[in-house]
Structures are given as C-alpha cells and as structure tokens.
Amino acid sequence: MSTGRGSADHDGPDPMHLRPPGIGDTTVEALGVLSKSLETTERARGHLYAFHQLTGRADLGLDDAVRLLREAGHDREADLVEREILGRNVIPGHWTYQIVEAYNATYYRPFAEVELQVRNRLAEGRDHLYEAEMKERRRTPHHPDHTALPD
C-alpha cells in the first residue's frame, strides 16, 4: 500500500490546511475574503505589467514607423511622430515603469504585507483555509480523482 501524502491510508487534508484551534467560521471566511482580494490585486498588477510591456513595445515600434516614413520621403510626418509621441510620458512625468513602481510601493506590497500579518496573527500563517475546507466538503473521500493531497 502506498504511503504517499495522497494515498489511501491518508485521505485527509494537509495539516497546514487545517484551521488552528479556536478559529471560528467567520474568521476563516474573513481570511478567505482577504486572500481573494489580494489575489484580485495580483491580477490587477499583472494587467498593469501588461500595460507597461504593451506600451513599451508600441513606443519601440515607433522607431520603425519613423524610419519608414523618412524612407518614403515623409520627413514632416516622421518629425511629428518623433517629436510628439516617441518617448512621450503616459501620464504627466511618468513612463509606465514609474507607474508600476509606484503601484508596487504604495499599494501592492503593503497589501501583501498586511494580508500576511493578519493571517499570521489569526491563523498561524496558514493559507487558503477557506478553500481547503471547501475542498473537503465537496470531494468524495477515497475516490481516486478526489484525493485530498497529491501523491
């Protein structure tokens, strides 16, 4: 018989996904909502990086547009693109990397640090308690495709 974590002889959750003694349902739910909010912030941050990269790629593409306009004899239009758009701030005083840096310093990192502090204080640092309990409620014990843990 296998003795792996997800084996038949151990078909329960990982001890790190069990709520510590004395933590009530409302606390577990609150931690779940806090975690979900942080995950949403992670997604927003990813979109911000996509904005940063796409804007940078567009700006670098302007080099080719300016070159081709000049090759086609359109110096006036090439000068306009080069002067007005190439290297332009996306908001006053900021390129996209500065927006990313400000977001990380002002919002993302403090949010992640507070979430960790709350989780450490209330749940001994345990993560995803709400989801782990939902998994236990929804899975079929001893079913090979519903194991609590990986092998």
**pLDDT over 60 (residue 6):** no
- Indicate the helix (H) or strand (E) that contains 148: none
pLDDT in tens, 12-62: 788 889 999 999 999 999 999 999 999 999 999 999 999 999 999 999 999
Say what the pLDDT of residue 1 is: 37
Indicate yes or no: pTM above 0.85: no
Domain ranges, ordered by start, for the chain:
24-132
Q: What is the 3-state secondary structure (H, E, C) of 57-116?
A: HHHHHHHHHHHHHHHCCCHHHHHHHHHHCCCCCCECCECHHHHHHHHHHHHHHHHHHHHH
For residues 62 and 60, what is the distance between their CA atoms, to the nearest angstrom? Answer: 5
Which residue type does 124 have? E
Structure tokens at 30: 């609150």
